[in-house]
Amino acid sequence: MKQFIAFVKKEFHHIMRDNRTLLIILGMPVVEILLFGFAINMEVQDIRVAFYDPTPDDFTTGIAERIRQNSYFNYQGKMQSMEEMEESMRKGKLDLAVVFPQKFQESMVHSGKAAVQLLSNSSDPNRGSISVTYASAIIAGFQQEQADLIQIPFRIETENRMIYNPLMKSSYMFVPGIMGLVLMIICTIMTSVSIVREKERGTMEVLLASPLKQGTMIFAKTIPYMVISFIDFIIILLLSYFVLGVPVNGSLLLLFLVAILYITLTLSYGLTVSTLVDKQVNAVIFSATTAMIPVLMLSGMIFPIDNMPMVLQTLSAIVPARWFIEAVRKVMIQGLGITMIWKEMLILIGMILFLLGVTIAKTKKRLE
């Protein structure tokens, strides 16, 4: 026991006395949150819109007015011709063009229908389709108003609401992902580097020749990173709650439980990596490739899993962060209880056991 404590203290010393690493460990979550929260914004805003309206009338001006007044749109003016419109779009000065046909109101009133053409710059397909959606919604709203005025019975009114995330804030999506990424980096990369560093330095040999049990040493090495990652988790939670306004709708205790599970998992993976490589450099590269990149790409952190091709969706299932992020989203954003995340938790536990098994099997009792 005394050995263990002495060793844990030593590990803390190593971390605390390395300023650069300390900066990364404690500064990273802050930077990530601020970056994702403020700088990277997936919401579609500032849609530059222009109108082509050869025969303006009450309807066309009404629709144009409503679009212009909407805060998501940025009114660029009226175009004099389709060529001007296309020119603008091609030069990248226009995101959405609203084209009214001749005599819009007349067609509407007399034949009960008229068409509005929406042309959107879809070099960013996401942005393009959402711009069209917004504009369509506004037009539909206008149409609704007109219908109200004429008082047709048996109207169907649809009311859209985005549950859990009414403001469609992308930060809700990112925060669980950032947690998954940061914890993975700290626990996996740092832990594996810490163990491999002993090998590289030659102190491993000295430790092996001493009565210190390997298990004690490895466990002692994971303790500081467990503590630090938990601190980071709390930092992320606090920042996202107070700075980004992301709610914590579910049980905080459950959230901590899920975090502990995930931290244990990433630490175990760090241990596994340390049995596979001999140099710190390799530990970093191996961890980064197998841990960070899959987390960024496949865990559902940035890109929705459902949109991926089947192959990648299957691959995503072995990325631990995917299950962690799902569980966190369910608990934090949706406020669900343990009954809804038992599947994710079970998968995480299974992965932990697997990784620990591999680690123990690969840990050599003697130098070979």
Partner 1 sequence: MSVKVIEVSGLTKKFGNFTAVDHITFDVEEGEIFGFLGANGAGKTTAMQMLCGISMPTAGAGTVAGYDIIKENELIKRNIGYMSQKFSLYEDLRVWENIRLFGGIYGLSDKVIATKTNALLEKLNFQKERNTLVKYLPLGWKQKLAFSVAIFHEPKIVFLDEPTGGVDPAMRRQFWEMIYEAADQGITVFVTTHYMDEAEYCNRVSIMVDGHIDALDTPAALRRQFSADSMDEVFRQLARKAKRGD
- Contact positions with partner 1 (CB under 8 A) in 203-222: 203, 205-212
Q: Which of 3, 74, 290, 363 binds partner 1 (CB under 8 A)?
A: 3
Task: Please say whether the beta carbons of 134 and 44 come within 8 A.
Answer: yes
Q: Which of 6, 34, 137, 293 binds partner 1 (CB under 8 A)?
A: 6
Q: Is 223 in the site for partner 1 (CB under 8 A)?
A: no
Q: How many CB atoms lie within 10 A of CB 90?
A: 10
Q: In terms of CB distance, is 7 or 262 closer to partner 1?
A: 7
Q: Is 10 in the site for partner 1 (CB under 8 A)?
A: yes
Stretch of residues binding partner 1 (CB under 8 A), selected from 9-17, 27-35, 123-131, 241-249: 9-17
Q: In terms of CB distance, is 10 or 78 closer to partner 1?
A: 10
Q: Shortest gap between Cβ of 187 and partner 1 (angstroms)? A: 21
Q: Strands 47-52, 117-120: parallel, antiparallel or unpaired by DSSP?
A: unpaired
Q: Which residues contact 319 (CB under 8 A, 6 or more apart)?
A: 294, 295, 298, 299
Residue 296, Cβ density class (10 Å: 0-12 exposed, 13-18 middle, ≥19 buried): middle
Q: Is 113 in the site for partner 1 (CB under 8 A)?
A: no
Q: In terms of CB distance, is 159 or 368 closer to partner 1?
A: 368
Using alpha carbons, select from 57, 51, 39, 328 the residue that is nearest to residue 177: 328
Stretch of residues binding partner 1 (CB under 8 A), selected from 30-38, 121-129, 199-207, 319-327: 199-207
| Residue whose tokens read 């403001």 | 167
Q: What is the DSSP letter of 243?
A: T
Could you give the CA distance from residue 324 to residue 344 in angstroms, rounded to a whole number? 7
Interface contacts to partner 1, rule CB under 8 A: 2-3, 5-7, 10, 13-14, 17-18, 201-203, 205-212, 366-368
